Structure 1
Amino acid sequence: MSVSENTPMAADRSVFLRSKIKIILTGSETKEEAEAALRAPINIPRYPHFNDVHEQRVHMKQKLAAGFRLFAKFGWDEGVAGHMTFRDPEYPELYWVNYFGQSFSQVRASDLVLCDHSGAIVRGNYTVNKAAFVIHSAIHEGRPDAVCAVHSHSMYGKTFSTLGRKLLPITQDSCAFYEDHSLYDDFGGVVYTPEEGEHLKSALGQSKAMILKNHGLLTVGSSVDEAIWWFISMERCCMSQLIAEAACTNGFEGLQLIDHEVALGTRGNVGDKQAGFFQFQPMFAQIVKEQPDLLE
């Protein structure tokens, strides 16, 4: 997300503008107030505008911290496993990440560590998970458009990954990933080698999400918000499909799939970067209200 980006939500399909119908809500407003209401602007959701790169950096760190708090709230933390990174807006070759060993439930914006491609610490006093940077440095290197990358060992994501196949278009939500997620089917243990990182980068390709067989999920986005939302949504899609398959007597072959053209069209509505960004905003507002210390 650039400093100047303030594009409104795309959506002639998502928002309505002011009606021209003239009414007066009897007992609730005067004639003058009713006329003023017709002239009042409609607040259309927009990307934030930043006055400088420092303001943007703080905002992005707060969004990432919120992502960790949400994951902890959802029970998607697993010991010291899992990590999220985003490119620094001033130095895009450097990345902010959670430090190794900190509970997702305690991450604050000020706790994030700035690292280079090798995982060496540029700012911060804690070390980072080596696997985090083998994975994330390769992903960011291969995807210049990926501002943020998210990976965690969430329950339904890692469970679905054991099937060694992709999500099916069985719900409107899963259509967001239709023909836009990949499968990495060569699990080789904890990711420590650069070669493994290269394989992950190749498997992801230009998709926004990937299922790592016997491991879990990974998502990327052009904003912190988008990458976190795709992970949340994909985890829930894995949950939905596992439940649906369990209810079928003949497994996934009994599921009613959404037609190819309809799935593609639906992806255009619910699977683009604007949709990913704005879907995250209510969750961000909710977790900040519940846990305001994450902004520190």
Structure 2
Amino acid sequence: MVDTMTMDKPALIERAKEQMQRHLGAPDWSLREKVALTCRILFAQGHDSGLAGQITARAEQSGAYYTQRLGLGFDEITAGNLLRVDDDLNVQEGAGMPNPANRFHSWIYRARPDVRCIIHTHPIHVSALSMLGRPLKVAHMDACMLYEDVAFLPQWPGVPVGNGEGELISAVLGDKRAALLAHHGLVIACATIEEACMMAMQCERAARLQLLAESAGDIVDVAPALAREAHDWILQDKRSQAGFAHYARRILRDVPADLGHPLDMRPDI
């Protein structure tokens, strides 16, 4: 047996990482299923804004990605009613049309080969913060997954259906995983669907914490070295997968296996 009481912190971190690799697992959902589950999870977590917002993921085919059909809310998305579109938003598979605002997703995918999933939503607290023209403040352990990873766009470019908006948003995002868009909302760009979903939820929670804390006093900064340590610890792939699976189980428990079930593969709702 290993005497962990005498081990230093770096050794304990590595030991825990190795254990997570062995013990944390998740169902083998398809890309379509994970996109549909993300829509349902974020709807339940306060990211609903009617028909606004898009969740996309690169498809198996090069130059294509999955997205929801315009006219459906996040709570209506299933694996079967998703569209597959190309960079020009031409529908390759599925019925209906994508949201024209998906154009800036195409810009991000072209600029960031590492990105496999993009989430754009207008959650209440992120939107409130965006109205103040104030960047997201990271000063809580849970939010440290966002530390130095959230860009800020201070000028609203208008409805993001043009190429200019796509160029601007992709540029301000740079190599970060997230950006808060003034007078608009949130954009997440991650290497996996699971990580993107967890980041989106944490951005909204961090915005809510920030508004609550600022109403009571001045936020105290966290030590940069400790924040970076927490950032890397929380953003392990296995943790993202396990967290996503937890929220997916909650959704699947509460949604009956009928026509609107998120894992339904039929083409219409």
TM range (shorter): 0.7 to 0.9
Measured in 2, the distance between the counterparts of 1:120 and 1:174 equals 37
User: Which structure would you say has the larger Rg?
Assistant: 1
CA drift of 1:237 comes to 0.7
Residue equivalent to 2:182: 213
2:137 corresponds, among 156, 161, 168, to: 168
Query: Are 1:284 and 2:248 matched, yes or no?
Result: yes
Q: Deviations over 1:206-234 (max 9, x none)?
A: 10111011101111221111111110111
Relative to 1, partners in 2 of residues 1:143 and 1:163: Cα closer, same or farther, differing over 3 Å?
same
Residue equivalent to 1:27: none
Of structures 1 and 2, the one with the larger relative CO (CA 8 A, separation 6+) is 2
TM-score, L = length of structure 2? 0.86
Give, as a single letter, the amino acid of the residue that structure 2 aligns with 1:169. Answer: V
Measured in 2, the distance between the counterparts of 1:286 and 1:11 equals 30
Residue equivalent to 1:44: 23
Give, as a single letter, the amino acid of the residue that structure 1 aligns with 2:199. Answer: W
SS in 1 for 2:242: helix
2:117 corresponds, among 123, 143, 148, to: 148
Measured in 1, the distance between the counterparts of 2:235 and 2:136 equals 14
Residue equivalent to 2:205: 236
Give, as a single letter, the amino acid of the residue that structure 2 aligns with 1:275. Answer: R
CA drift of 1:266 comes to 1.2
Q: Deviations over 1:24-82 (max 9, x none)?
A: xxxxxxxxxxxxxxxxxx96114667xxxxxxxx6111111111112222332212101
TM-score, L = length of structure 1? 0.78
SS in 1 for 2:92: strand
Residue equivalent to 2:38: 67
1:130 corresponds, among 82, 100, 109, to: 100
CA drift of 1:11 comes to 5.7
Relative to 1, partners in 2 of residues 1:117 and 1:270: Cα closer, same or farther, differing over 3 Å?
same
Measured in 2, the distance between the counterparts of 1:169 and 1:163 equals 17
For residues 222-261 of structure 1, the aligned pairs below 5 Å read 222-248=191-217, 254-261=218-225
Measured in 2, the distance between the counterparts of 1:11 and 1:286 equals 30
SS in 1 for 2:227: helix
Q: 5+ residue gaps in structure 1?
A: 1-9, 18-41, 50-57, 249-253
Q: Is the contact made by 1:226 and 1:276 (CA closer than 8 Å) also made in structure 2?
A: yes
Q: Is the contact made by 2:54 and 2:68 (CA closer than 8 Å) also made in structure 1?
A: yes
Residue equivalent to 2:77: 107
Residue equivalent to 2:263: 295
Measured in 2, the distance between the counterparts of 1:188 and 1:166 equals 17
Measured in 2, the distance between the counterparts of 1:74 and 1:151 equals 14
1:98 corresponds, among 68, 72, 75, to: 68
Number of residues paired by the alignment?
248
Of all paired residues, the percent bearing the same amino acid is: 26
Q: 5+ residue gaps in structure 2?
A: 1-12, 265-269
RMSD: 2.1
CA drift of 1:281 comes to 1.6
CA drift of 1:15 comes to 7.0
Relative to 1, partners in 2 of residues 1:11 and 1:124: Cα closer, same or farther, differing over 3 Å?
farther
Measured in 2, the distance between the counterparts of 1:196 and 1:260 equals 32
Relative to 1, partners in 2 of residues 1:225 and 1:11: Cα closer, same or farther, differing over 3 Å?
farther
Measured in 2, the distance between the counterparts of 1:43 and 1:266 equals 21
Q: Is the contact made by 2:118 and 2:190 (CA closer than 8 Å) also made in structure 1?
A: yes
Select between 263-272 and 120-129 the one with higher mean Cα deviation.
263-272
CA drift of 1:273 comes to 4.2
